[in-house]
Structure formats: structure tokens, C-alpha cells
Amino acid sequence: MTVLGATHVVRTGSFSMRVEVRSVVVCTVLFAATLVVATWSIMVGDFPLSVHQVLAAVFGDGGDDAEFIVQTLRLPRALTAILVGAALGMSGAVFQSIARNPLGSPDIVGFQQGAAFGAVLVIVTWGGSSLAVAGGAVVGGVVTALLVYAFAWKQGLSSSRLVLVGIGIGFTATAGVDYMITRANIYDVQRAAVWLTGSLNGRSWDHVRTVGIALAVLAPLVIIGQRSLDRLDLGDDMAAALGVRVNRAKLGLVLLAVGLAALAVAAAGPIAFIAFVAGPIARRLTNSPSACVVPAAFVGAFVLTAADLAARRVLAPTELPVGIMTAVIGAPYLLWLLTRRARTGAL
């Protein structure tokens, strides 16, 4: 296993980056697994397709029926799952690293609920386009993040206070969403309700575009920021000594991570527990001390794709919203984490 422990340094001009072989292997395996699961997910349904039909339809020569089913219905759904999972996983890893606590992920501390509030507000007030809904989700997520940090701040940031304040604000945001649902007219309610279950059902290329652009813009910035993230992990003073502008770096990273989470929420609704589980799993797989933002993205993509397949198939022909499946997987993990950390006195 010595090969897996090795690291390589990539240099181009003044830019250099350390690459761990094990991380690369993990990411490649996860990516392959995600593609397999996604293909499987495109194959099954009311109108089953073979592998050949799927591949043919993806590349545009599979016959009209298969092409319609794959290109209009199932491929956008599968791609949305992959992209949303990646965005949530990456966002969760950044938050958990900054909070130095696996409980700091955006679904636990209420940011996703805040993003949902913003999105629903846009849907019921202006009935806006998917771009406007995405904007609402981002604003909602950022405002919630600021509120949570502001209320949790009291001579420094205690992470238990952060988590508890986040839970409280999450409850309030959820009540706000429920209130708007009561007030709105029935067509908007239907649209909002489908979206709020955290479902990947009926995702179109529109949704793929929203998350795709978000990832394309924000993910590289996060990867550049990982260097500061790893130094912040040594403690604020040490990071400052190593040349990190602590407060500016933290604020920038938080905004990037909120943006990723909020756009994922805008596309697929508030899917819980993906952001929460991806980071720790990635760390375990890569056995790396760093924040693992890239492996976490691959883990998130794989877990969400697999959860969506499971949600569709477990009780077939009934298709469950994927949010139910992620809660069924994620909640026991949270409980396990809780008991384990309690035993070691870390909570």
C-alpha cells in the first residue's frame, strides 16, 4: 500500500498543488461507481431499457421512444442527482472543516431550511423562473448563515451553540415556509410542495444547468481555498502565522459553501443529510488529514445517485422522494456519531 500513501506535487509556473495518490484512486473509483449506478438508474422504471439502449439513446441513435425517455426524463434526473450530490458534499466538507465539527454541515445548522425559505418566498410571491428561484435560495441561505453566526457569536464561536442556534433558526424558517404554503394560491402551493419534499422527480435540463453552472464557477474557487482551509484547521493563530488572512478566508469560504448548498437546494429541494455524511466518509476513505473537499464531492454524488435509485426501487412501483431515503440513511449515522463522540468525551 506504499504506492497509495505517496503524494505528487504538480507544478505549473508559480502554481503548485500537492496531489495524494490515494485520493485520486478513491475519486476515480467513486466516479466509476457513480456512472454505473446512474446508468442503472436510467435503465429501470416503467419502461425498462437495456444498457445498449441507454448508451445508444444518450448518444442520439436509440430510436424515438428510448431517446425521449432517456434524454427528456431520466438523464436530466440522473445528472441533477450527480451534480446536486457533488455540490452538497463539497459544501458540507467546507462547513465541517470551518466549524471543526462534523455537526457543522448546512443541513444540520439550518442553512438549507433558510435557502428553502428564500426559494418558496420567490415561488409564491413572484412565481418566478427557475433562475429567480435559485437567486431566492442563495439569498435565503446567505441571510440564514449570517443570522446563525451572529446569534451564535458570544465572545467567540462555540460549536455547540452554533449547532443549537442553527436548529432553532431552522425550525423558524420551516414555520415560515409552512406559513407561506398556507397563504399561497393552490398552483404555487403544488409547485412548492413537490419541490419541498426534496425530490429529484421531474428534474429537467433547467435544473441541470442551475447546479452545473454553480459547480463550474464555485467548485474551482473552493479547491483553491482548500489550502487556507487546511491551515485554518491548525488553529486561527497558527493559520495567521502561516500567512492566511483568517477572517477574510473564513468569510469567503463560508459564502462559497453557502452558495453551493443554496443552489443545490434550488434545484432539488432541501435534501437532508448528504452534506452531513459526505465529508466524514471522504475522510475515512482517503485517510487524509485535509478537508477533502474534492473527494467529498464525489462521495456526495455517489450517495445521492444511489439513494435516488433506492428511493425509486425499494417500494416499486411507488417512487419515494429521495429526501426520505437520505434521512433513513443519514439519521442513524448522526445517532451513531453522537454516541461515539459522547463515549470519547468529544461532545
Partner 1 sequence: MTVTTAPDLDTDRGTGLTGPVTAPQRTGVGRRTIGLVALIAVTTIAVLLSLAVGAKPIPLGPVVDALFAYDPTNTDHLVVRELRLPRTIVGLLVGGALGVAGALMQAVTRNPLADPGILGVNAGASFAVVLAIWWFGFTAVDDLVWFALVGAAVTSVVVYALGSIGRGGATPVRLALAGAALSALLFALTRAVTLLDTATLDQFRFWAVGSLSGRDAEIAWSVAPFIAVGLVMAVGVSRSLNAIGLGDDTATALGVKVHLTRGMSGIAIMLLCGAAVAAVGPIGFVGLVIPHTMRALFGPDQRWLVPGCAFGGAAFLLLCDTLGRVVARPSEVQVGIMTAAIGGPVFVVLVRRMRMVRL
Distance of CA 204 to the CA centre of its chain: 18
Radius of gyration of the chain (CA): 20
Q: How far is the CB of 67 from partner 1 (least distance, A)?
A: 30
273 forms part of the interface with partner 1 (CB under 8 A): yes
Task: Indicate which single residue of 39, 130, 197, 288 sits in contact with partner 1 (rule: CB under 8 A).
Answer: 197
Taking CB under 8 A as the criterion, the residue among 106, 176, 212, 279 binding partner 1 is 176
Q: Would you tell me the crossing angle of helices 186-196 and 111-126 to the nearest 10 degrees?
A: 160
- Residue environment code for 32-43, b if the CB has 16+ CB neighbours within 10 A, otherwise e: eebeebbebbbb
Q: Is 343 in the site for partner 1 (CB under 8 A)?
A: yes
- Among 6, 213, 217, 315, which residue interacts with partner 1 (rule: CB under 8 A)? 315
Q: Which is nearer to partner 1, 91 or 101 (CB)?
A: 101
- The interface region with partner 1, picked from 9-17, 123-131, 179-187, 263-271 by CB under 8 A, is 179-187
Verify binding: residue 344, partner 1, rule CB under 8 A.
yes
Decide: is 11 part of the binding site for partner 1 (CB under 8 A): no
Write out the binding residues for partner 1, residues 78-137 only, by CB under 8 A: 101, 103, 108
Is there binding between residue 146 and partner 1 (CB under 8 A)?
Answer: no
Query: Residue 221 in contact with residue 256, Cβ under 8 Å?
Result: yes
Which of 39, 130, 159, 288: binder of partner 1 (CB under 8 A)? 159
State in angstroms the smallest separation of the CB of 339 from partner 1: 5
Residue-wise DSSP of 204-260:
-HHHHHHHHHHHHHHHHHHHHHHHHHHHHTT-HHHHHHTT--HHHHHHHHHHHHHHH
Cis, peptide link before residue 317, omega less than 30° from 0: yes
The reply on whether position 182 binds partner 1 by CB under 8 A is yes
Q: What are phi and psi of 299, to 5 degrees?
A: -60, -45
